[in-house]
Amino acid sequence: MPEPTQGKYVEPEFERDTDYIEDRITRDGEQWPVQPGRYRLVVARACPWANRAIIVRRLLGLEGAISMGICGPTHDADSWTFDLDPEGLDPVLGIPRIKDAYLARFPDYPKGITVPAIVDVPSGEVVTNDFPQITLDLSGEWTELHREGAPQLYPEHLRAEIDEVNKRVYTEVNNGVYRCGFAGTQESYDAAYERLFTALDWLEERLATQRYLVGDTITEADVRLFTTLARFDAVYHGHFKCNRSKLTEMPVLWAYARDLFQTPGFGDTTDFVQIKSHYYEVHRDINPTGVVPAGPDLSGWGTAHGRESLGGRPFGDGTPPGPPPEGERVSPGNNPHVGDDGLISL
């Protein structure tokens, strides 16, 4: 199944398949050079790994340089589909499912059909689904196409520290919630649960005295942590049995998450309805009935967080992005804090 198709159900514990298509789009690339309008970023708002790419593309102002196709929140065992689009076809690629772009390049592609993926529009072939590298390359290789005032999400002088933090956040938190949710034995679940909350306690301590994970501005590290935190109470606490504490019961992380949520590019890319639809409807081995819970109450995401007292500047010397393009806005019905202009309204 494509999500968590980056992984598979393995006894006694969940293992994520990290064998991705490692091609890169680079400024001096021969096969895949950076070119405005050539590529399409295919995402699903429900997927935390894809949500990272949505955020980074928006923060950097790359909407005009790389178009975005949005799959629906649910899928079958075969692939993510473009069921949100008229006639169920992506309007640029003309395909009903992202699997078609994978097979156009690799007719016998044996691995998971995952998002995010970048597709070469002229050929209709997938270029890469290497989600950690995609966002780094959007920051480092697409710089000539960044908007004026785009933030430095992966500044060279902080890269070693960002990489170190990202490694622990990925293994213990981003992937840790899946390790809990797909544990095949009590023993493996107990171990995963302990690792997850040990890491969350570390983050509580780290963020108690600094506004952002690394340095005094938003970086790639904050993007990667945010997409897990945004899904924590809505999905991971109950569906994945990560239930020692809700996010709202971890005061530092809850304030940190609200700070980011209220920052342009973060909350306005968060679709709670699609998030819940995906996890509860697709993971029938965990939730056999497919019933989607009505909660949690989302009103708290708009409350004051007080993180300004720690200093820091969200965009450094840059500026926040403007409103998202009309066709890419999250429906206010799917996130009650989104206004008619697509931005967070508190």
**Domain for residue 190, yes or no?**
yes
For 153-176, what is the mean pLDDT? Answer: 98
Look at strands 7-8 and 39-44 and give their pairing. unpaired
pLDDT bracket for residue 12 (50, 70, 90): low
Percent of the chain scored above 70 by pLDDT?
95
User: Is the preceding omega at residue 264 within 30 degrees of 0, hence cis?
Assistant: no
Model confidence at 5: pLDDT above 80:
no
**Residue 290 shares a structural domain with residue 199:** yes
Identify whether 11 is part of a domain: yes
pTM of the predicted model as reported, rounded to 2 decimal places: 0.95
Does a structural domain hold residue 346?
no
Rg (CA), the chain: 19
Q: How crowded is residue 99: how many other Cβ atoms within 10 Å of its Cβ?
A: 18
Residue 284 has pLDDT above 60, yes or no: yes
Specify whether 161 is located in the same domain as 130. Answer: no
Residues 113 and 198 in one domain: no
Interval 211-265: pLDDT, tens? 999 999 999 999 999 999 999 999 999 999 999 999 999 999 999 999 999 999 9
Annotation says 71 is catalytic: no
Question: Looking at the DSSP assignment, which residues form a beta bridge with residue 26?
Answer: 33
Considering 20, 39, 154, 178, which one is annotated as catalytic? Answer: 178
β-strand 117-120 against 67-71: which pairing, if any?
unpaired
Distance (Å, whole) CA 170 – CA 96: 31
If asked whether residues 129 and 183 sit together in one domain, one would say: no
What pLDDT shows up at residue 271?
98
Catalytic residue among 20, 47, 279, 280, which?
A: 47
Given this model, what pLDDT does residue 16 score? 65
Residue 229 forms part of a structural domain: yes
The number of beta carbons lying within 10 Å of the beta carbon of residue 273 is: 17
Instruction: Say whether both 264 and 319 belong to one domain.
Output: yes
Q: What is the mean pLDDT of the chain?
A: 95
Answer whether residue 76 is part of any domain: yes
Contacts of 28 (CB under 8 A, 6+ apart): none
- Exposed, middle or buried by CB within 10 Å (0-12, 13-18, 19+), for 326? exposed
132 and 160 together in one domain: no
Q: Do 174 and 211 lie in a common domain?
A: yes
Q: Is 178 a residue of the active site?
A: yes
pLDDT in tens, 99-141: 999 999 999 999 989 999 999 999 999 999 999 999 999 999 9
Please indicate, yes or no, whether residues 18 and 108 belong to a single structural domain of this protein: yes
CATH number of the structural domain spanning residue 239: 1.20.1050.10
Nearest Cα to Cα of residue 314 among 202, 136, 149? 149
pLDDT at 4: 47
For the stretch 30-57, pLDDT in tens is: 999 999 999 999 999 999 999 999 999 9
Structure tokens at 11: 């006894």
Q: How many domains does the chain have?
A: 2
Q: For the sheet containing 67-71, what is the strand order?
A: 67-71, 39-44, 117-120, 125-128
pLDDT at residue 8 in the model: 45
Same structural domain, 137 and 161 = no
Has residue 102 been placed in a domain? yes
Q: Residue 129 falls within a domain, yes or no?
A: yes
Residues 211, 301 share a domain: yes
In a domain, 2, yes or no: no
Show which of 116, 145, 174 is a domain's final residue.
145
Q: Residue 278: give the domain boundaries.
A: 156-328
One-letter-per-residue 3-state SS of the chain: CCCCCCEECCCCCCEECCCCCCCCCECCCCCCECCCCCEEEEEECCCHHHHHHHHHHHHHCCCCCCEEEEECCCECCCCEECCCCHHHCCCCCCCCECHHHHHHHCCCCCCCCCCCEEEECCCCEEEECCHHHHHHHHHHCCHHHCCCCCCCCCCHHHHHHHHHHHHHHHHHHHCHHHHHHCCCCHHHHHHHHHHHHHHHHHHHHHHCCCCCCCCCCCCHHHHHHHHHHHHHHHHHCCCCCCCCCCHHHCHHHHHHHHHHHCCCCCHHHCCHHHHHHHHHHHCCCCCCCCCCCCCCCCHHHHCCCCHHHHCCCCCCCCCCCCCCCHHHCCCCCCCCCECCCCCECC
pLDDT, residue 120, reads: 98
Across 78-104, average pLDDT: 97
Rounded distance between C-alpha atoms, residue 280 and residue 78, angstroms: 18
Q: Given a cut of 70, is residue 3 above it in pLDDT?
A: no
d(CA 37, CA 51): 21
What confidence score (pLDDT) does residue 185 get?
97
29 pLDDT tier (thresholds 50, 70, 90): very high
Give the CATH number of the domain where residue 38 resides.
3.40.30.10
Domain boundary among 96, 122, 145: 145
Q: Are residues 141 and 53 in the same domain?
A: yes
**Which one of 145, 175, 208 terminates a domain?**
145
Same domain, 120 and 162: no
